[in-house]
Amino acid sequence: MLLDAAGAPLHAVELERPRPAPGQVLLRVRICGVCRTDVHVADSELPRPKLPLVLGHQIVGETEDGRRLGVPWLGWTCGECRYCTSGRENLCDRARFTGYDLDGGYAEWAVADERYCLPLPDDLDDLEAAPLLCAGLIGYRSLRAAGDPGRLGLYGFGAAAHIVAQVALAEGRRVFAVTRAHDADAQAFARSLGAEWAGGGRPPEELDAAIIFAPAGELVPAALAAVAKGGTVVCAGIHMSDIPSFPYELLWGERVLRSVANLTRRDGEEFLALAPRIPVRTQVEPFPLDRANEALAKLRAGDVRGALAVVP
């Protein structure tokens, strides 16, 4: 399913099977998770994707010799810049991203640099594993960036939040889910996963940290107002609408506002080792590959419980 121009729907085309370059593996795509970032790319909210482009950066694929590998967003880094050499390869200036700079997994076949592929634990089936590769990983990195919060607020309860809530609860944290005020479905979903409160507006007590998954800038001052002194607000999305100005008082008291960008391979290894131990259970709705546009439309409308994936 090819994106020819930003803003245009994907369309089915017959491409030649990609040939792996040295260091790459050829993967038969078993399933590919659908991420909000795919919507941002398709809707041209992110600058300069490769075009034409095969979207998709949560690939569960199988190598020719039968190994099951996950392909995440981080597809290649230079290995020599100041970021790469200091454990921050996620910030590499020359990084290439799967389904953005490199063709991704909305396809029957994909190639990927083997050094950036993640071996998948056997106890997760393909459908369960797919959303771990971005939603899960970004949620995990965001939770680590949030410090050690006893009371954690999750703003936007989609694919990432439904995974990180399980990790946070297993670590003994209390989870508060902030959704759109009238989204009773998302609130019920959050409660069913163990959130002790779910609703619109401000949680009933102070938070120690908040993670914002929804791409809405107005949530930044709202979350800062909800966290206690010394608390951290983490913006986890790759795209967000402009943040409205707010009084310094909201940041005062050693509150920290930060973003989380992409992932490192180390995040991937740590999280994929942790997920089966919790165990994280993902809720994923599969779409046939040729109906990828419907999956994107569903995500765009915010009409999703858990995560989505496409299956060739």
Q: How far is the CB of 54 from Zn ion (least distance, A)?
A: 15
Distance CA 86, CA 78 (A): 12
Tell me how many helices (H) and strands (E) the chain has: 8, 17
CB of 85 to Zn ion, least distance (A): 8
The span from the CA of 162 to the CA of 8, in Å, is 30
Nearer to Zn ion, 97 or 176 (CB): 97
Residues 30 to 89 in contact with Zn ion, rule: CB under 5 A: 35, 37, 77-78, 81, 84
Minimum CB distance to Zn ion, residue 81 (Å): 3
Can residue 187 be called a binding residue for Zn ion (CB under 5 A)? Answer: no
Contact 158, 36 (CB under 8 A): yes
Beta carbon nearer to Zn ion, 231 or 237: 237
> Where are the extended beta strands (E) located within the chain?
2-3, 24-34, 53-54, 59-63, 68-71, 74-76, 96-97, 109-113, 118-119, 151-155, 174-178, 197-199, 207-212, 227-235, 256-259, 284-288, 307-311
C-alpha distances in Å from residue 277, one per residue of 36, 121, 265: 27, 11, 19
Q: How far apart are CA 112 and CA 135, in angstroms?
A: 20
Near Zn ion by CB under 5 A, which window of 43-51, 90-98, 217-225, 288-296?
Answer: 90-98
Per the CB < 8 A criterion, the answer to whether 257 and 224 are in contact is yes
Closer to Zn ion at the Cβ: 92 or 240? Answer: 92
Instruction: Tell the smallest beta-carbon distance from residue 294 to Zn ion (Å).
Output: 18
Considering beta carbons, is residue 77 or 282 the nearer one to Zn ion? 77
Q: Is 271 left (phi over 0), alpha (psi -120 to 50) or beta?
A: alpha
Q: What's the min distance (Å) between Cβ of 175 and Zn ion?
A: 22
Beta carbon of residue 79, minimum distance to Zn ion (angstroms, whole number): 6
Applying CB under 5 A, the site for Zn ion has a residue count of 8
Q: Which is nearer to Zn ion, 160 or 207 (CB)?
A: 160
Residue whose CB is less far from Zn ion, 10 or 92: 92
Positions 113 through 172 that interact with Zn ion (CB under 5 A): 134
d(CA 104, CA 53): 8
The smaller minimum CB distance to Zn ion, of residues 100 and 176, is found at 100
Residue in 92, 235, 280, 292 binding Zn ion, rule: CB under 5 A:
92
Using CA atoms, how far apart are residues 54 and 297, in angstroms rounded to an integer? 17
Q: Minimum distance between the CB of residue 37 and Zn ion, rounded to whole angstroms?
A: 4
Residue 75: both structure tokens together: 């597809």
Which two three-digit tokens encode residue 236?
Answer: 């986890």
Interacting residue ranges for Zn ion, rule: CB under 5 A: 35, 37, 77-78, 81, 84, 92, 134
